[in-house]
Amino acid sequence: MPFDSILGALDPPLRQTALRLLIALVAFLLTWLLRHLLLNLALAPFRRRLEGTPFGRSVIEIVSQPILIGVIVLGLLIAMAILGLDASADSFLRAIINSLVLLAVATALYRIVQIAPLAAGLSAATGVIVDKRLDPFLNAALRLVILVMASALILQEWGVNVSAIVAGLGIGSLAISLAAQDTVANLFGFVSIVADRPFSVGDYIAVMDIEGTVEHVGLRSTAIRKLDQARVMIPNSLLNRVAITNWSRLQKRRFQLSLTAPASLQSAQLDWLLGALRQRLAEMPKVERNTSEALFTRINDNGSLLIELRGYILEVTWSEYMRAVERINLSALDLLRQAQTFVPSGKDTA
């Protein structure tokens, strides 16, 4: 049976409703089928202006999906205008349209957060230095917030009591949070390590009774290679609570050495020895001049004389520091031997 015959067989009110429904359906389908064409027409002026700019492609990717959703919303609005629906049907379609608008906005925000360098932006906005390694966590956190907020607003559009759902989820998530509290603590520990930067990969650190080189900083734990080559994994939550000594960030290392002179050493010889030690320390290129000292500090119970050498060595690596200490020790021994044979002026050794 021809289509016009089918329409002619209907009552006039029903025929008018069917025609409106058909026209509205055709209008929506045309809008749906032409959505990509309409998208290209809408983006054409922006493409010409953004072409060749550093963020041109990113901007196009951000706005493309929201515009497609907007085209669908336009088709629904046209269909609603053609149908002239009653209040109940109109409110239903309005809820659909509002949900799509919220979805478009959430999609745009989600894409912006997904590609934006949040750590750099936060540093520029607040002046607080934020490590770029926090970008994945900042992105994930903000995307989660966007999804939760968009879902809550869309559910409210449909008359769903969001507060009741949140309360139910809170009871259920309590058990999950208790079970995952160690994991969450380690994640926050990682964030603290990245933000405060108490050490970096390659630094030599001491944590409690563990010393070694940092090999890897992970989400859950940090790997340290000890001097005996044992690899120790320390939870980040523990590193967030204890004192960390970073030997690699020293500007200089302190030395303090004890030299014992025999009781037979005369005062003039001791005076010569102290002067020679001070001069030798001042001549050493690795020793900081204004901090080095050679002092006669004590007479021991057996009558021997205690001399303290102290100051700073301008080396941060352990091996170079120990070589400098070794040179100081050898020089001190050599000067001590010379002091024992030193003859003060005006005295005869015979």
| 209: in domain | yes
Q: Point out the domain boundary residue: 142, 174, 206.
A: 174
Q: Edge-to-edge strand order for the sheet containing 244-246? A: 231-235, 221-226, 210-217, 204-207, 244-246
Domain span including residue 314 = 253-341
Task: Say if residue 209 is in the same domain as residue 260.
Answer: no
CA atoms in the 13 A half-sphere facing the CB of 260: 8
Q: Of 50-64, 120-134, 170-184, 303-317, where does the model show the most confidence?
A: 303-317
Which two tokens mark 276?
A: 């020679």
| Interval 165-182 mean pLDDT | 55
Is 56 a residue whose pLDDT tops 70? Answer: no
| Interval 263-270 mean pLDDT | 90
Task: Say if residue 262 is in the same domain as residue 210.
Answer: no
Task: Say if residue 71 is in the same domain as residue 139.
Answer: yes
Cβ burial of 193 (10 Å; 0-12, 13-18, 19+) is buried
Task: Say if residue 236 is in the same domain as residue 287.
Answer: no
Where is pLDDT greater, at 135 or 107?
107
Q: What is the pLDDT of residue 275?
A: 93
| 46: in domain | yes
Sorted by sequence, the CB contacts under 8 Å of residue 34 that are 6+ apart come out as none
pTM over 0.75: no
Where is pLDDT greater, at 18 or 337?
337
Task: Say if residue 66 is in the same domain as residue 89.
Answer: yes
| 218: in domain | yes
Q: What is the pLDDT of residue 277?
A: 93
For residue 221, the domain's CATH number is 2.30.30.60
| 107: in domain | yes
Is 211 a residue whose pLDDT tops 50? Answer: yes
Q: What is the pLDDT of residue 350?
A: 37
Check if the beta carbon of residue 269 is closer than 8 Å to that of residue 340.
yes
Q: Determine which of 44-48, 91-95, 190-194, 315-319 has the lowest per-residue pLDDT on average.
A: 44-48
Task: Say if residue 26 is in the same domain as residue 79.
Answer: yes
Cα–Cα distance measured from residue 93 to residue 83, given in angstroms and rounded to the nearest whole number: 11
Task: Say if residue 50 is in the same domain as residue 95.
Answer: yes
DSSP 287: B
Alpha-carbon separation of residue 155 from 94, 101, 118, 320 (angstroms): 14, 13, 29, 67
| Interval 295-303 mean pLDDT | 91
pLDDT band at 66 (very low <50, low <70, confident <90, very high): confident
Check if the beta carbon of residue 193 is closer than 8 Å to that of residue 240.
yes
Cα–Cα distance measured from residue 70 to residue 32, given in angstroms and rounded to the nearest whole number: 11
Task: Say if residue 131 is in the same domain as residue 105.
Answer: yes
Q: What is the pLDDT of residue 1?
A: 47
| 347: in domain | no
Phi, psi of 83 (to 5 degrees): -70, -35
Q: Of 60-69, 141-150, 167-176, where does the model show the most confidence?
A: 141-150
Percent with pLDDT over 70 in the chain:
71
pLDDT band at 125 (very low <50, low <70, confident <90, very high): very low
Where is pLDDT greater, at 299 or 247?
299
| Interval 207-235 mean pLDDT | 88
Is 202 a residue whose pLDDT tops 50? Answer: yes
| 34: in domain | yes
| Interval 261-273 mean pLDDT | 91
- Alpha helices, DSSP H, located in the chain: 3-8, 12-33, 35-50, 56-83, 87-115, 118-126, 135-157, 162-179, 181-196, 236-239, 267-283, 318-341
Where is pLDDT greater, at 118 or 32?
32
Where is pLDDT greater, at 147 or 256?
256
Sorted by sequence, the CB contacts under 8 Å of residue 181 that are 6+ apart come out as none
| Interval 247-268 mean pLDDT | 88
